[in-house]
Amino acid sequence: MQVLVSLAMIVLTAGRVLTISGSSIDQYALPAVEFVPGPIAVDREHDVWFAENAGTRIGELRVDGALRIYPIPGSHEQIQAIVVADDGRVWFTQTQTYDGSHNRVGYILPDGRTTLYRLPRDDAFASAIAADPKGGVWVSEFGAHRVAHVSASGAIREFVLPGPAHRLVRSIDVAVDGTVWVLQDDALVRLSRSGGERRFEIPLPKYIDGMRNMVPAGSGAWWMTAYTKSGRDPYVWRFTIPDRLARYKLPGAGWGPAVIAAGARGSAWMAYDGRIANIDRSGNVVQYMTPFASFDVWGMAADDLGDLWFTNSQTEKLGICGPNIGKEPHPQVAPLTERASEVLRAWKSTLQPRAGYKMSRVTADTISIDRDFAVVGWSDDNGNAATLMRHRDDRWMPVFVTNGNFRRLRDLTVRGVPAARAAQLLRDSAVILVPPA
């Protein structure tokens, strides 16, 4: 039976605001082959999992600093969201986004083995995903007015949502008791395991196009973001059972937050207007001003230490924000080998200014070396580049420099690198974070 509840909204201003700048934000580089990161999750071992935005690869940054890249079967499908289940499986949704076909749900094990299940519908995007504490995952079918449960063995059940059929499914969460909460354009929907349905209508101001993302805010509460038109004050929303809805005005300006992540003790992390902010249940805000010239967060996930991991699609790096940067069990950067130091000394001595780069901020981020060739991936705050180095006559000399990362074997093979070595150089670039040149 469907129960309809119309919510009344309370508008509040964020409480105490604390601003933190300096070394509270850092980034980890990815290999010097193009990998724009998107969705992100952190497992119980503090390994960081992330999916390629608009691609078919999943990466893992381990606490020992090792980086693994796993190909996911498919060609034009794109990974939309990922989540780590209690048993350690990393689940994800995958769809061919330009037409909503080839909808699949899958998981990857710690050893890289992948299992995929095909969803029965081709008329919707398999987008948001949430782990079920009783096993499997729940998936939103964007555009089909449905959600689906996928068991660990691949059994699939679909559920039609209450309310107007044209309302889109934006986000999904599962409470500890197994109750499923679904965020639509203008409503929250609760689906109980007994079959009961309750739809909470959200009153939207005219300048808001619809709700966007939802994360838990402690027992019986959820934080939400909305599509806000430009020029309006930034807000974040909080719903509390049974029917309390509050909207908090945030510091700053611009579009307001879109991506959001659940933090410790019912708080929420957000990224907007060149900052990362955390709001607690009392409305107090801690904001971290980002030092990056380009800042576009596609995914966010908090760990159990109270820090936030995020993906920055502009710099093609993973970021971390919080009080525990550089401390274990966060990934530790391994010291450079003697040969890597030799390559980087040669790279720095021959590096020439390039249009659009702030050379005083240039950093060598990744390096991959074999006997005769090396690839150095480097960047400043705003862009990425790569240099191919060759060892000849006991010297390392640059062969080719590109604005942007190397993207395919041909980038290297046409400049004399054998195909097998080119594949290894692109695959084995290590995460290093070398000090600025």
DSSP string, 312-358: ETTTTEEEEESTTTT-TTSPPPPPPPHHHHHHHHHHHHH----TT--
Residue 156 CA to residue 166 CA, distance in Å, equals 23
Question: Residues 6 or more apart from 194 whose CB is under 8 A from it?
Answer: none
Task: Dump pLDDT digits (tens) for 164-202.
Answer: 888 889 999 999 888 999 999 999 999 976 667 889 999
Site of tokens 């700048």? 21
Give me the numbers of helices (H) and strands (E) for the chain, helices first please: 3, 36
Q: Kindly state the helix (H) or strand (E) to which residue 412 belongs, with its residue range.
A: helix 410-413
Q: Model confidence at 256, in pLDDT bands (50, 70, 90)?
A: confident
Tens-digit pLDDT profile for residues 303-324: 988 899 999 888 888 989 888 8
Give the strands of the sheet with 101-108, arranged side by side.
78-84, 90-96, 101-108, 114-118
What domains are defined for the chain? Answer: 2-321 (2.130.10.10), 338-431 (no CATH)
pLDDT mean across residues, the chain: 86
Is the pLDDT at 435 greater than 60? The verdict is no
Q: Quick one: 155 exposed, middle or buried, by C-beta within 10 A (0-12, 13-18, 19+)?
A: exposed
User: DSSP secondary-structure letter at 369?
Assistant: E
Would the pLDDT of 56 be above 80? yes
For residue 240, what pLDDT is reported? 93
Whole-Å CA distances, 190 to 99, 162, 277: 29, 10, 28
Mean pLDDT of 228-256: 85
Pairwise CA distance, residues 227 & 34, whole Å: 29
Share of the chain above pLDDT 90, in %: 42
Measured over the CA atoms of residue 408, residue 412, residue 414 and residue 419, the dihedral's sign is negative
- 3-class SS of residue 64: coil
pLDDT band for 294, please (50, 70, 90 cuts): low
Range of lowest pLDDT (23-32, 80-89, 275-284, 388-397): 23-32
Give the residue, 251 or 361, on which the prediction is more confident.
251
Element (H, E) at 422: helix 419-427
Tell me the CA end-to-end span of the chain in Å, nearest whole number.
65
Banded model confidence at residue 22, pLDDT cuts 50, 70, 90: low
More confidently predicted of 326 and 162? 162
- pLDDT value, residue 230: 66
Which of 32, 1, 29, 119 has its CA nearest to residue 376?
A: 32
The pLDDT of residue 228 is above 80 = no
Beta bridge partners of 8: 244
Structure tokens at 291: 């030092």
Q: Tokens 């580049």 label which residue? A: 385
Is the pLDDT score of 116 beyond 90? yes
